[in-house]
Each structure stands twice: as structure tokens, then as C-alpha cells.
Amino acid sequence: MENNREQWSSKASFILAAAGSAVGLGNIWKFPYIAGENGGAAFLFIYLICIIVIGLPILNIEILLGRTTKKNPVGAFKAITNNPFWKYVGALGVLASFTILSFYSVVGGWSLAYTFEAFVGTFDSFTVKNWSPEYGMPNPESAARFFDIQTKNPFWILGYHTLFLSIVVFILLSGVRSGLEKASKFLMPILLFILLILVIQGLTLPDANKGVSFLFQPDWSKISGQTFLLALGHAFFTLSLGMGAMMTYGSYLSDKDDVVNASYLVAFLDTVIAIFAGVAIFTVVFSSGYDPTAGPGLVFHVLPPLLSNLVGGYYFAFLFFLLLSIAAITSGISILEVSVAFLVDERKISRKKAVLFMAGLVYLAAIPCALSFNVLSDYTFNFQDKALTFFDIADYLASNLLLPFGGFFLAIFAGYVWGIDEVIRNLLIGESNSIYFGNGVVKSKGFKPAFSFTVKYICPVLIFLVFLYSIGWI
């Protein structure tokens, strides 16, 4: 089914791009605050189970479906089955990509803004220099106030959202190899390097062990049904699953490249980076005696003053927000690419027109999310005793409903429509350089029954139960 579709120049490029998609605000902004609010290590444990049991098989299937059909999510289902139902499942993915990008672009904008603020030294004013001659007193309250004042300004928030989306558009306009691939190859190593610096500096802080044990010593009493819902939703979000992003990236793979090995590597990198981000953040938070349950504002309220109080803090704060911006950009491009590939394949529109058209739609869709912090802050909808703004709804809808829904249908599709035998036959196509992590695993005796049982029963049932919980039925 090879056609003249653009392809990654190598498997390594694909892995970097897919890891670029997976590693994003989910790992650095979201993971630390949901782990912080849900018991740290206890959350991490359940999240890891979700990644291994549900995330990995679905990741394999998504990439495989893309590689086999060389199509966007709508076209991919159509290429395998005539049943029109599945094309709507693909379309749900395109809808999810819109929903996610509409709030993602707003937070991506904040990250850019904070990189700029760190650069011009704004965070210095959050520290009470005179309190202690040595360290000063970190003051997240003034940082929270700063965040509030900025986000209350519609021009600030819309301006940075525009900047973020423009960067995404600029990269996408250059195509797969010179856009997506080049950006990931350039940005991902920088991201890893910055993260390592931040982890090392975190571990050298006084009381760093408190932050580390928060992340690794589970307090089981903190686990509830909500923890499962959040952990599952986050597993989908962080691996970019359930809306066809990995499928679309997989569609630019050649049949020579094996899928299993790539999936392991992407999931591994994503998980390690989330844990590293957790270590970098919680060591700083705990060493300053702050509460890790600050919510979505954790990295924006708490980190600027805490980081800039450290020796060399100006640089650490700048590096941290640069890291966040890079992670957001390499994921943002993969989110928009889903709907771009859809238009290019299905409507035969030029790439340039598709990018501009879809970005224009996302731009409009993001306006209510951006204005949720100011002009539209009073427009809230009550759901399970919480008043949700447009921003909260987009986030909740995407992570806890649309993505797990997409994953549910993908498991059903692979298990019952495409068929496990076909899936396995395709998984075996492509050279593997590892007997442990590549095709060797697929060839091993126990693989088929285990994979089949997981895809046909465990994934759909678990996702369905969590779904029933999320709508309040159990």
C-alpha cells in the first residue's frame, strides 16, 4: 500500500517524533499536579499499570494501523472495513484533536510567556530578597497573583495562544520530513538535556529525599475510583492515544520499520520523562516546604519563585519554561497533524491549505478556552458538583471521555474486526533489531494468547468500567 506519501527518513526519526508527540504538557505540567493531588506514588503506581496493560497494546495497534494503511484515522478504518460505523470512530479522533488543541494551545501560550518572563527576570520580584540574606523567601502568593493578573487579560492570553499556534503552523507547513521530523530531531535532545540538568539540581537540594519519597512511597489510602479515572485518562493523554495521532505518525512509517520495538521505546521514554519531571518538580516543592496539591497552577504559581530562589535560579527557571514550551510544541504539531492528514488524504486538499484551514478552526475553537480565565469566567457548567469553565470542559471531555472512548473502539476494532491474527501477522512485518523488544516478543509462544486476551477483553472492559464511573453510573 505504499504510495507517494512522505515518509520519515529513518525509524529513529519516527521514534523521536512519536516521543515528541507523547512527551508534552501532559508529562511536565499535568502529571506532577495530578500525581500531587492524588497521593503521589499511589497515583504513579496505578498510572504505570494503565500504561503497561492498556497503553502499550493500544499504542502498538495505533501505530500498526497507520503503518499498514498509510492513512489518516478516518481513511485507515475505511481501508480495512466497509462498515461505515468505523469511519465515524476515526472522525471522533479528528474531533478530539480539535478539542485538545483548543486548551493545549492556551497552556502552550502560557509556557512561551513564562519563558519570556523568566528571560527578562520577572520572577526575581517574587522573592523577598531581604528576608534572609542567603536565600530570600520564596513567595508563591505573589507568583499566583502575577499569573492571575496576566490570565485575566484577554489580550495577553489570546496573544500568546496566537504565538503558540503560529509556531505549530510554521512547522507543519514545511511537511513531514522538513517540518515534523526536523523539529523533533532538533528539539527533543535539547529537552532531554534540560530535564537532566533540572533533575540533578533538584536532587542536590536540601530535603530532596522528601520529594523523591512522595513520588515513590505509596500512601494507599489516597486511592479512590477517581484515581483510576484520572490515571487511565492520563495514560491515554500522555501517550497521545485514542485520537489517531500515533496512527497518523505511523502512516509515515515504511513497512520495513517494526512497530513493536518503536512502541516500547516511545512508551518508555514518555514514562521516564514524566517521572523525571516529577522528581525535578517535587524536589523543589518539598525542599521549600510547599504543598504539592496546588493543582493546574503548580508549575506556574509555585515553581517560578521557588526556582528563582535557588543559586543560579534565573537560569533554572528559564530552562524549565523553555523545556515546557519545547514539549508543548512537539506535541502540538502532532495534534494538528491528525486533522491536516485527514483533509489532505480524504479531501485531496494541498497540505498548505489544509494546515491553514484547520489551524484557523482551532484558533476559533480555542477562544472560549482562552477567555475562560477572564471575559467568560462566569460561564460555567455544573458537573458532578464542580463548576467547569469552557477550558475545564475541553480538558475533561478530551482526556476522560474522547480519548478512552477512541481507545475502547480501537481495541474492539483490532480484536473483532481487523482480527488478532491479522494484527499479529502485520506486527511481524518489518525488521527488528532486538529479540526482546521487537518481533522476537511477538514470535514468542505466550504472546498471542496474552495479547489477544488483553485486546479483546481486558482493554475494553476496563475502559468501559472507568467510563461508567466517569459518567457517575458506578
Instruction: List residues binding ligand PHE (CB under 6 A).
Output: 21-22, 24-27, 100, 237-238, 240, 243, 245, 331, 334-335
C-alpha cell belonging to residue 311: 543559586
> Least distance to ligand PHE from the beta carbon of 269, Å?
12
Q: Are 411 and 460 in contact (CB under 8 A)?
A: yes
Q: Which is nearer to ligand PHE, 275 or 441 (CB)?
A: 275
CB of 327 to ligand PHE, least distance (A): 7
Give kind and range of the element (H or E) at residue 127: strand 127-128
Q: Please identify, using beta-carbon distances, which residue of 99 and 201 lies nearer to ligand PHE.
A: 99
Kindly state the smallest distance separating residue 382's Cβ from ligand PHE, in Å: 27
97: CB partners within 8 A, 6+ apart: 243, 244, 245, 335, 336, 338, 339
CB of 250 to ligand PHE, least distance (A): 13
Distance from C-alpha of 324 to C-alpha of 43, rounded to nearest angstrom: 22
Closest to ligand PHE by CB, 25 vs 326, is: 25
Between residues 284 and 338, which has the closer beta carbon with respect to ligand PHE?
Answer: 338
Please report, as a single letter, which amino acid is at residue 269.
L
Residue 387, strand partner residues: 382
Q: Contact, 278 vs 32, CB < 8 A?
A: yes
Query: CA quadruple 74, 57, 107, 316: dihedral positive or negative?
Result: negative
Contacts 24+ apart (CB under 8 A), 142-150: 142/305, 143/300, 143/301, 143/302, 143/304, 143/305, 144/297, 144/301, 146/122, 146/304, 147/297, 147/300, 147/301, 150/113
Least distance in angstroms from the C-beta of 243 to ligand PHE: 6
CA angle 280, 285, 286 (to 5 degrees): 105
Nearer to ligand PHE, 22 or 59 (CB): 22
Q: Which C-beta is closer to ligand PHE: that of 290 or that of 342? A: 342
Nearer to ligand PHE, 94 or 414 (CB): 94
For the CB of residue 337, give the shortest distance to ligand PHE in the complex, in Å: 9
Which three cell numbers mark 219? 500512601
In this complex, which beta carbon is closest to ligand PHE, that of residue 259 or of residue 333?
A: 333
Q: Which three cell numbers stand for residue 147?
A: 499569573
Q: How far apart are CA 262 and CA 438, in angstroms?
A: 8
Q: DSSP secondary structure string, 398-412?
A: IIIIIHHHHHHHHHH
CB closer to ligand PHE out of 52 and 376: 52
Nearer to ligand PHE, 243 or 442 (CB): 243
Element (H, E) at 269: helix 259-287
Angle at the Cα of 394 from the Cα atoms of 70 and 460, rounded to 5 degrees: 55
Could you identify the residue written with the cell 496474552? 450
Q: In terms of CB distance, is 58 or 335 closer to ligand PHE?
A: 335
Closest approach, Cβ 430 to ligand PHE, in A, equals 23
Q: How far is the CB of 100 from ligand PHE (least distance, A)?
A: 5
Contact between 327 and 191 under an 8 Å Cβ cutoff? The reply is yes
Residue 306 beta carbon to ligand PHE: minimum distance, rounded to whole angstroms: 23
How far CA 240 is from CA of 333, 464, 465, in Å, comes to 12, 19, 21
C-alpha cell at 463: 475502559
Q: How far is the CB of 392 from ligand PHE (least distance, A)?
A: 17
Chain centroid to CA 340: 19
For 128, which DSSP code?
E
Closer to ligand PHE at the Cβ: 336 or 442?
336
Q: How far is the CB of 96 from ligand PHE (least distance, A)?
A: 7
Query: Strands 381-383 and 137-138: what pairing?
Result: unpaired
| Shortest Å distance, C-beta 83 to ligand PHE | 25
Q: Cβ neighbours of residue 131 under 8 Å, at least 6 residues apart?
A: 137
